[in-house]
Structure 1
Amino acid sequence: MSRICIFITFMSVMLVNSEQNTPIVVTTWNFVNSTITAWNILKQGGYSLDAIERGTSICEEQQCDGTVGFGGSPDEDGETTLDALIMDGRTMNVGAVGALRRIKRAASVARHVLEHTKHSILVGELATQFAEQMGFYEESLTTPDSKRLWLRWYYRNHCQPNFWMDVTPDPGKFCGPYSKLENFGHKSDNWIPMKINRFNHDTIGMVAIDRKGDVAAGTSTNGAKFKIPGRIGDSPIPGAGAYADNAVGGATATGDGDIMLRFLPSFLAVEEMRRGATPTQAARTAINRVATHYPDFMGAVIALNIDGVYGAACHGLGDEPFPFVVQDITMNKYKIETVNCSWPLH
């Protein structure tokens, strides 16, 4: 190859790199402090995995919207449990915890699952046992606020609304314990569906790319308010709550996890980008896939490709746009972006 060709090739590579917006981090909702924390790691040359872990941990500590971390979303027994996931797009390795009890730092426990086990997901009481072995300590996740929330739901509202159906006694009128109906197939006329919104089925989801081009994604949440004990949603499920692949980019989802996990929207968004879709198109495809079957669901997807181009789509928030936070190498400060949601399909 001639010197001229080598020079032209070198300049072409420099031009491509200069057009990229990496490093970059994108975060669901308006969780600014988490974004700032993650960005401070990335701008100093830190790893995307560290940015994801620390960024989501900030939301756990600050109890973002009451839907992340301790002291929020008590289950039917009044206990708060946590779900979290971290995915490494370089190795395609995953660490996750579901229904984690009495440990505040769920994202960090997920990181330990990723780095210190050959498993991908640990759940429940035995996830707590694992966390203790890794040096985490137990403490109550109940706060005065979460206790008041549960007492109001149980005594004043008679366990309404809840997630039961086709059981006896009538879950639209009474608290449990319940048993199944022998002749089921219809909901009680008094059954009240659980209202889905950002303060009930919210999650912090993050995707980051560091200076080396390594992609990571993660989530953390305390799940749905008054969930049946043992329930986990989409957040700790790879491909549902989040997904990352160094060859393509990453994505994360937030919203009605019981429905969204059935469609692996984060995985679908990444695969759409692999096929050539823009991040916005990929996020919209993932959202539409869910909406086709569940037109009243509430949720959003953020997608980020390896060039630092990002996009989002949402559904079911009514007139409210979906906010998400971005900071990349071209910005002096984080930016809160918004996207208008599609309406329920009827």
Structure 2
Amino acid sequence: MVMNGATMEVGAVAAMRYVTDGIRAARLVMQHTEHTMLVGEKASSFAISMGLPGPTNLSSTESMRKWIKWKENRCQPNFRKNVLHIDSCGPYHPKDKADLGGRTYLMDSLVGTIVSKSSHAGLHNHDTISMAVFDKMGHIAVGTSTNGATFKIPGRVGDGPIAGSSAYADDEVGACGATGDGDIMMRFLPCYQVVESMRLGLEPKLAAKEAISRIARKYPEFVGAVFAVNKNGVHAGACHGWTFQYSVRGPGMNDVEVFTVLP
């Protein structure tokens, strides 16, 4: 996902196969279509038709090794819940069903307390990169790219391509980027909240902390982090469930500076 903070244009791709450069594909969506997001095989076809290399086999020796080990471990973890299975690798069927008036309804608890799950998000199971860039005119752009969570259910789309969740920018205010348990974080649009909090006058540190705290109040076991930067270049981060690091490089700096944020 990429976003232009001057025009509020967004380009995104999701569930895209056979193309290595997802962020360039997202930029092509933003620059050359009137859409915001393309998904699946047609997103791949679009990216290739616009000049990106492909189709390409994206499997690597390491990814195949992980997949084989996962199969040997009875397909665990697999992000499924409230299911019955023939064996550990499926097929899967919903459990606790009741037939009401000829229709089948899941007896999920839709009212009451949220049951916490052990998060699969961590330092070594995803590869999210979220970035904010300011040009000399003060215009802001953000971008997020990821392969998504390891061992996700086929078809899963996380927060990476969702504007307001993985990243958000507005030239008038500033920008935000996020990483972590995208399935949880996308329910709260934390980066949209960060930017809007800064619009209302909060400093980046408080805006970031409030966005993370709002998620943690509902999901105390979630793992995630955000960085916030206002239009004046003041930046900060906030995290929950891990120690988060982000890097900054500005005019006159010979190298990036890494900032560590404690939960």
Same-fold status (TM-score > 0.5): yes
Matching of residue 101 in structure 1 with residue 36 in structure 2: no
Is the Cα contact below 8 Å between 1:161 and 1:194 reproduced in 2? no
The match for 1:323 is 245
Structure 2: unaligned runs, 5 residues or longer: 98-105, 109-116
Aligned-partner Cα distance in 1 for 2:217–2:95: 30
Map 1:43-192 to 2 at 5 A. 85-136=1-52, 137-154=54-71, 156-169=72-85, 174-183=88-97
Report the alpha carbon displacement of residue 96 of structure 1 after superposing the two structures with TM: 0.4
Residues 1-80 of structure 1 mapped to structure 2, 5 A cutoff: none
The two structures have a TM-score, normalised by structure 2, of 0.90
1:294 matched to 2:210:
no
Contact 1:201–1:257 (8 Å) recurs in 2: no
| Corresponding residue for residue 101 of structure 2 | none
Percent identical pairs in the alignment equals 48
Give the letter for the 2:2 counterpart. Answer: I
Please give the alpha-carbon distance, in whole angstroms, between the structure 2 residues aligned to 1:124 and 1:151. Answer: 24
CA contact (8 A) 2:119 2:221 kept: no
**AA partner of residue 178 (structure 1):** Y
- Distance change >3 Å, CA 194–CA 294, structure 1 → 2: closer
Structure 2 CA distance for partners of 1:202 and 1:143, relative to 1, 3 Å: closer
Give, in whole Å, the separation in 2 of the partners of 1:332 and 1:161: 43
Residue matched to 1:282: 207
What is the distance in 1 between the residues matched to 2:125 and 2:189?
A: 20
Q: Are the aligned partners of 1:200 and 1:225 in contact in 2 as well (CA < 8 Å)?
A: yes
Q: What corresponds to 2:121 in structure 1?
A: 196
Q: Following TM superposition, by how much is the alpha carbon of 1:330 offset from its aligned partner in structure 2, in angstroms?
A: 4.2
User: 1: distance between equivalents of 2:37 and 2:167?
Assistant: 14
CA separation in 2, counterparts of 1:165 and 1:339? Answer: 32
Q: 1:202·1:254 contact (CA, 8 Å) conserved in 2?
A: no
Show the counterpart of 2:134: 209
| Shift in alpha-carbon separation, 1:244–1:329, aligned structure 2, 3 A | same
Q: Where does residue 48 of structure 1 map in the other structure?
A: none
Q: How far does the alpha carbon of each residue in 1:204-242 deviate from its partner, in whole angstroms, 9 at most, with x for none?
A: 000111101000101000001111111011110000010
Query: Structure 1: which 5+ runs fail to align?
Result: 1-84, 187-191, 342-346
- Contact residue 133 and residue 140 of structure 2 kept, 8 A: yes
Give the number of equivalent residue pairs. Answer: 247
Residue 243 (structure 1) aligns with: 168
TM superposition shift of 1:177:
1.9
Counterpart of 1:122, as a letter, is L
- Structure 1 length normalisation: TM-score? 0.69
Give the aligned partner of residue 220 of structure 1. Answer: 145
> Quick check: which one's strand share is greater?
2
Supply the distance in 2 between the matched residues of 1:194 and 1:124 (Cα, whole angstroms): 26
- Structure with greater proportional helix content: 1
State the SS of the aligned residue for 1:162: coil
